[in-house]
């Protein structure tokens, strides 16, 4: 019995503990934009939600995901450029992981970020790194999370918007819209 416990402990150390499965539903999390407005993910039920998040090291990749998804949805007529964002059937959110920044500095960060975000771009600040805690931190790679209209997480994928990753995202969005 003791030998079995030692073998199990050794295997856990060598192989690592199993990563927790991502939640089945989008979390009931709230994010803040550079202007200080808040967005609760629960308010997006009824729409497909595409969240792109990651570190500063992948900002270009995050932007590329957003542009490619938006362009594909417009090209397919899911929505049009002049549609009110809040009324589009698909909400694309870019989340900046901001964990570790003390509350007393958040106003300064928002003030620095605000003028650097294009007016037609949706950037939300994840002060607690909620998404990476739930869906994984993938270094300098973007992570894309897609939830259906009921908030059920249907896909979590990391990497640039090309090849297999893009195909999986594109195919799922076609099925959901």
pLDDT higher than threshold 70 for residue 9: no
At 17 the pLDDT is 42
From first CA to last CA, the distance across the chain in angstroms is 55
pLDDT higher than threshold 70 for residue 8: no
Q: What Rg do the C-alpha atoms of the chain give, in angstroms?
A: 18
Percentage, residues of the chain above pLDDT 90:
58
Average pLDDT, the chain: 85
At 22 the pLDDT is 60
Q: By three-state DSSP, how is residue 132 classified?
A: helix
47-84 per-position pLDDT tens digit: 999 999 988 778 888 889 999 999 999 999 999 989 98
Percentage, residues of the chain above pLDDT 70:
86
Tokens of 94: 């870019």
**Domains, the chain, ordered by start:** 23-176 (3.40.30.10)
Q: By three-state DSSP, how is residue 148 classified?
A: coil
Query: Quick one: average pLDDT of 128-147?
Result: 91
């Amino acid at each position: 019995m003791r030998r079995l416990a030692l073998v199990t402990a050794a295997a856990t150390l060598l192989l690592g503990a199993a990563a927790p499965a991502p939640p089945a539903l989008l979390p009931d999390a709230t994010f803040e934009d550079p202007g200080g407005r808040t967005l609760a993910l629960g308010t997006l039920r009824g729409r497909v939600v595409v969240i792109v998040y990651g570190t500063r090291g992948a900002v270009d990749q995050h932007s590329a995901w957003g542009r490619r998804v938006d362009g594909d949805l417009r090209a397919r007529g899911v929505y049009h450029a002049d549609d009110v964002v809040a009324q589009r059937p698909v909400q694309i959110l870019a989340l900046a992981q901001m964990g570790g920044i003390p509350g007393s500095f958040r106003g300064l960060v928002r003030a620095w970020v605000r003028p650097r975000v294009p007016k037609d771009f949706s950037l939300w600040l994840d002060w607690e790194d909620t998404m990476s805690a739930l869906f994984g931190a993938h270094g300098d790679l973007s992570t894309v999370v897609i939830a259906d209209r009921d908030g059920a997480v249907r896909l979590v994928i990391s990497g640039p918007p090309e090849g297999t990753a893009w195909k999986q995202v594109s195919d799922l969005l076609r099925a959901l819209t």
